[in-house]
Structure 1
Amino acid sequence: MSRFRLLLLTAALQALAGAASAQAPAQTPPVAPAPSIAPDWAYPDSPTHKQGPPPPDFHRPTTVIATPIGVFEGQADVGSALVPGAASFKDGVYTVTSAGYNVWYTRDEFRFLWKKMSGDVSLAADIAYPDAKGFFDRKAVLVIRQTLDDDSPEALVALHGDGMIHIARRPAKGARINDMEYRIGSRGGLPGGASPDSLVILHAKRIGIQKSGDDFTLWVSERGEPMHQYGAPLPLHLKEPFYVGVGFVSHLPVTLDTAVLSDVVLENAAGRVR
C-alpha cells in the first residue's frame, strides 16, 4: 500500500472514531429515588378522604432491633412504617416515637418494645402524650402478640389521643381487628361524640392488659384508684412463646409523634395488674 493510501485510511478511521464518540451518551450521575409516599388508603379520614384497609397482599417486613431496653428484650418497627421509629429508656420512663398508619385492620404499623414470654401475663403502664396537639386517634398500646409480623394474631389495649380506651384482638393471622371501645371522656371525632363527663379520661392515664389462659382483659385506673377490669374478656389462643410489650403509633403514615410510658409493671402471672 502506498504511503498516500495509508494516510487516507488512517484519516478515515480517525473520523469514524470521532463520530462514534460524539454519538455516545454522556455519563450522568445516578439519580436518587424519589421519597416514598404512603398509599392513599393509609391516610386518616378527612372531609375528602376515607381511610380503608390495606390490600390483602400488602405487607412490609418488620425491622427488629434485638437490643435490650428496660425490662424488654428488644424493639421493632412492626410493619416498617415509611419513617423509622425510635425508643429510649431512662429513670424508669420509656419514650416511644413512631409514625405509622394504624394498629388496626389486617396489619399494623407501630413501634413495639417486646419481650418473649409464656404463660399468664400482667402488664400495665401510665401513659402521657407530650404534644397535646397530636392527632386525636394516635394510640399508646399494651400488646400481647404471636409474632413480630405485621399481620400477627394479637390482643391489645390502647389509650387514644382523645381519651378513648379499647381492648381489641386479631383472632388469626391476617384477620381484621375487632374490639370493645369505651368512649368515656371522648372529646368528639369518634362515633358517639363527647361524653358528658369529658374530663374523666384525662386523669385516667393508666391502663393494663391481663392474659389468664386464653382470656384477655382490659384494666383501668380512672382517678388513681386501684386498677379494675373494664368489660368482658376477649378470647384468643396464642402458642408459646409469644411477644409481650408496649408501643405507640401516630396514626399518620409519615408523621412522627411520641408517647411516654412510665411505672411499667410486667409480671409473668395473672392477677398482678396494678
Structure 2
Amino acid sequence: MPRTLGLALLASTIGTVPLAAQQASAPAVPAWAQPGSETHQQVGPPEGFSRPTRTFPGRIGVFEGQSDVGGALVPGSASYDAATGSYTITSAGYNVWYTRDEFRFLWKKMDGDISLAADIAYPDPRGFFDRKAVFVIRQDLDDNAKEALVALHGDGMIHLAQRPTKGARINDLEYRIGGRGSRPGGKTPDDLVIVNARRIGIEKRGDSIALFVSLEGEPMHQFGPPIRLAFDGPFYVGIGFCSHLPTTADTAVVSNLVLENGAGKIH
C-alpha cells in the first residue's frame, strides 16, 4: 500500500497521525502556512495561491457529498454512525481563514433560509489550540469561496465570520468563552485544556446570518449581533473541520445535528 494512502487510512481510524510520520511523506510546507508561535507569525497565502478542491460524491448522513476544500497536503476523511447520529471528521489543513481555506467539508446544496446546529467534541485533548470545527454556508466549493461560518476553536473561542466576496480576507466577530488553551508562548503539555462538547449553530434568515450557542446545556440562543451577506441559490451548507496544521490530521466529532430549510428551527 502506498505510504500516503496508508497514513490517510490510519488517520481515519485513530484520528491523528503522528507528525513525524506525516512529514516523512508530505510535501514541504511553505513558511507562510506554518502555525503561529513565539518565533513565527502565520500569514496569509501569497496572492494568487490556490489548490484545487477534491470532491467525493455519495451521501453521508444528511449530506449529499464531501470535499477536501483547498486540497490539504494530507487527505481528510469522514464517517457517519447511524446508531448515534454522529459524524467523525478528520482533516489537516493550514487554516480556515485569510483569502482561502483548507478543511474537510460535508455539504448539502440548499436555498433560502437555514438552521444548522450540533454538538462538537474533540476526542484528542492535545490538539492544536486553533483547530476549528465549523458550520458553513458557502457559495461554491473553491478554496476562496464567499462564505459565512461559525466555529468552535480548540481553546474554546467561538466566532461568527464571513468572506464577503470571493478571494477576500475573512473578517469576524470573536468571543472567548472559556478554556486556557495551548496558545503559543510557553505552555507545557500539562497546561493543555480539554474542551468539552458544546453546541453551536448558524442561522440564515434572508441575508442576515447569526451565531447561536448553548454553553452549559441551556436552550440555544443568539450570541452577539448578526452579519449580513447575500448568497445566490443554490449554495452549499454543511459541517467541517480543520486541524490548523498543514500536515497533521486531527479529528472532531459532530453529533445531535439539526439541519432545516428554514429559520427559527435551531434547538
Q: Where on the TM-score scale, by shorter chain, does this alignment land: which range? A: 0.7 to 0.9
Pairing of 1:183-198 with structure 2 (within 5 A): 183-187=176-180
Larger radius of gyration: 1
Q: Contact 1:204/1:221 (CA < 8 Å) preserved in 2?
A: no
Q: Contact 1:204/1:223 (CA < 8 Å) preserved in 2?
A: no
Aligned to 1:87: 78
Aligned to 1:50: 41
Distance 2:46 2:179 in 1: 30
Relative distance call for 1:203 and 1:128 in structure 2 (3 A) is closer
Q: Contact 1:203/1:222 (CA < 8 Å) preserved in 2?
A: no
Distance 1:186 1:75 in 2: 31
Task: Choose the corresponding residue for 1:115, options 92, 108, 115.
Answer: 108
Aligned to 2:259: 266
- TM-score normalised by length of structure 1: 0.82
Relative distance call for 1:67 and 1:232 in structure 2 (3 A) is same
Gaps of 5+ in 2: 1-24, 185-193
Distance 1:213 1:44 in 2: 36
Pairing of 1:1-274 with structure 2 (within 5 A): 35-90=26-81, 91=83, 92-187=85-180, 202=195, 205-274=198-267
Aligned to 1:30: none
Gaps of 5+ in 1: 1-33, 192-200
Give the aligned CA root-mean-square deviation in angstroms: 1.5
Relative distance call for 1:217 and 1:204 in structure 2 (3 A) is farther
- 1:186: how far off? 3.9
Q: How many residue pairs get matched?
A: 232
Relative distance call for 1:35 and 1:221 in structure 2 (3 A) is closer
Query: What SS is found at the alignment partner of 2:226?
Result: strand
Query: What SS is found at the alignment partner of 2:41?
Result: coil
Bigger relative contact order (CA 8 A; separation at least 6): 2
Amino acid at match of 1:253: P
- CA displacement 1:177-232 (0-9 Å, x = unmatched): 000000120415669xxxxxxxxx95560000000000100000011111000011
Distance 1:36 1:141 in 2: 26
- TM-score normalised by length of structure 2: 0.84
Amino acid at match of 2:140: T
Identity among equivalent positions (%) equals 68
Amino acid at match of 1:71: V
Amino acid at match of 1:47: E
